[in-house]
Amino acid sequence: MQYYRMPYICQDNNCFYCNQKLTETAKTDFMIFHTSTYQSKSVNYAVFYCRKCDLFQMDKNMFSEIKKENKYWSVSLINKSPNLSLDFIKELMMSPLDFKLHKGRSNLPPKIFSNDKSTLKKTRHWVWCKHLPSFQIEKKPKLFLNKYEIVSSDLWKDLERLYSYNSNDYAILKRCPLCKKLLFPAYTLVPINLKDYAKIEGRQCFSCNCIYVKDCEELKKLFIDNKSAKSYTLNGRCYANYSEDEKRKKEERKLQEERQASINRYLDLQKKYPSIIFLIMLVNEEQKAEYVIVEKKEEENIENNILYFKNEIARELLAAVNIDDKKKIAYINNKPYSILLLIQEKKNLEYLPPYITLIDDDKYHNYHIKNDVLLYSPFTQKYEIAKIAIKDNMNYWGISAFRKFVCIYGKPDIDIDTSSRKNHGKINLDELRAKSILKIFGYSVNQQDNLSSKERQKILSDVVDLEIMSVDAVIYMLNFFIQMHTNGSYYFARNKWKEDLEFIQNYTVDPDRFLVIGNKK
C-alpha cells in the first residue's frame, strides 16, 4: 500500500486522530514530490503507527529528516483538524497528487482544513484537495431517523444530559438556565445500536456539561426503550426502560384502585359482619380470589368466601398472614396463592394468644371456662385448634393436652410458660414448689407410678428439647433431689435420680425433632 499524504502531528507525539500516546514506529511506502518539477517518487521510511486507528503519521523530526535526505523533495502533509473523520483522513492519504492545474503558478496549492470543500486555507504544506475522489464521486444519501441524521462515527464526545425546550423558548435561549453562563452551538451523538448514532444539534453549556435541544416529543421517540442509550437522560429522565416503567406504573395504579375498592368493600362488610377480622385478596397465575375472615360462626357464608376463623382455609390464610416462614404464600386446594392485598384493623386477636402457661392436669380440669385458640403447627404448616382454660385473663394449658398436641402437630410457635406470668416462665430454683415442672410433665420416681428408665428419660428429653427447661436446670434439680433426700427410705429414688442425672448430662439437645420454627412471632 502506498500513501500520497501523511498526517502531521505537531507535538507530544500523540495520535493525529485519537490523541493517544504513540510509542510504535513502522516502515511504510509513501510518495514525495519535487518542489520545482512536481515530479513524485516512492520512498520507504519508519514513521509512527497507531494500532487503534490503523493510521501511519509523522512528526516534525521525521519530516525534517526526509527533506534533508532528499534535497528539493518534500512530503504532502495533512494538518490536524477536529472536523476530519477517520474515513476521510484515510481517503485523503490514498488520493493521488495532481499538480497540472498549478504548473507555472506562483501560489502554492491550499491545504485541507475540513471535509467541507468550501473551507480552504493556503499554507506552505502542499495538499490539493479539489481533486480528491471524495469530491468527485457521487455522495451517498444521508440516512435519517425521526428527522435526525444517522452517522457511524463516535468522534464527538457524547453529551449524555439533554434538556428540551419548545421552539419559541429555544430561539431566545442564550444562557444556561442552571449556571447562567453562555451557551455554544454543539451537537451530541445518541447511540441507536452498536455502530449507528443519531446526531442531535443544540446548545452546549461547558460548565454543566449538558446540551439544550428542541422538539421534546421527537426526541422521546428516539430514546424510548433504547437500551443503547441507557446512560442518557432527557429532562432528567432515562427512557431506556420506558415501556417497562409505564407497565409497572399502570399495574401500581390498578392495584391502588383495587385497594381502594377493597377498603370500601371492607367498610360495607363491617356493617353486615361486625366480627370481621380481615379482608384478604389472593392471586396466582390463573386467577384472583377474595376472602373475609370473621370471629363468629353465625356470620359464616362459605359460598361468598366469608369464613369462620376455625375453617381450614381460614386457618391457612391466617398462617400466611402471621407466620414469617410462610412467606405470604397460602395453599388453597393445593394451589399456591400469594397475598396481593390485606385489610386488617384488629391486631390483638383473642384466639391467637401470645403465650400459654402450662399447669398440671388436675388444675386444668378444674377450670370451667375453656376456649378454642389457634396454634401454629410446624408439621402441617398452618394453624391448628387447641382448647385452653381461661382464668383472670390468663391462658392455661394442661400438660397432657400440651404433650398430645406436640406429638401430633409438633411444638407450637408460641411462648410456653411453666409458672405464673409474673415470672415469665423462668424456674426459680430457690423457691421450688411441691409439684415441680418435672412433676407437671409426669416425671416421677415413686414406686406407685413405677415409670421405667426409658419413660423417665423420655420425659426429661422432651422437657429440654421443647425448651421448657434447660439441661443445666434439670441437672440442678436432680442434684437438689439427691442432696435433700439422704434418708435410707429414698434409696431406690436416689438410684433413679442418679441414673437420670447421668443420662441428662450426656444428652444432646435436639429441638429439631419437634420442627421448632426459628422465627417466633
Domain limits, the chain? 2-136, 143-240, 250-344, 350-423, 427-521
Render each residue's pLDDT in the chain as its tens digit; 521 residues: 678 788 888 667 888 888 888 888 888 888 888 777 777 888 888 888 888 888 888 888 888 888 888 887 888 887 776 667 787 788 778 777 655 444 433 333 434 433 333 333 333 333 434 334 443 334 455 555 667 888 765 555 568 899 988 888 888 888 999 899 998 888 888 888 877 888 888 898 888 889 999 877 888 888 888 888 888 999 989 998 889 999 999 989 988 888 888 888 888 888 888 888 888 888 888 888 889 999 889 999 899 899 999 999 999 998 888 888 788 888 888 889 998 888 887 777 788 888 888 887 788 888 877 888 899 888 888 899 998 888 888 888 888 888 888 878 887 878 877 654 334 334 443 434 434 677 777 888 888 888 899 988 888 888 888 877 788 888 888 888 888 888 888 888 889 999 999 999 999 888 777 654 443 33
Integer distance in angstroms from the first to the last C-alpha of the chain? 81
Contact 179, 189 (CB under 8 A): no
Q: Name beta bridge partners: 20.
A: none
- Cell numbers 480528491 label which residue? 132
The amino acid sitting at 85 is: S
Give the 3-state secondary structure of residue 445. coil
The separation between CA 214 and the C-alpha centre of its own chain, rounded to angstroms, equals: 35
Query: 3-state SS string over 165-234?
Result: ECHHHHHCCCECCCCCCECEEEEEEEECCCCCEEEEEEEEECCCCEEEEECHHHHHHHHCCCHHHCCCEE
The C-alpha cell at 20 is 493517544
- Amino acid residing at 259: R
**C-alpha grid cell, residue 290:** 377474595
Judge whether 224 and 237 are in contact, CB under 8 Å. no
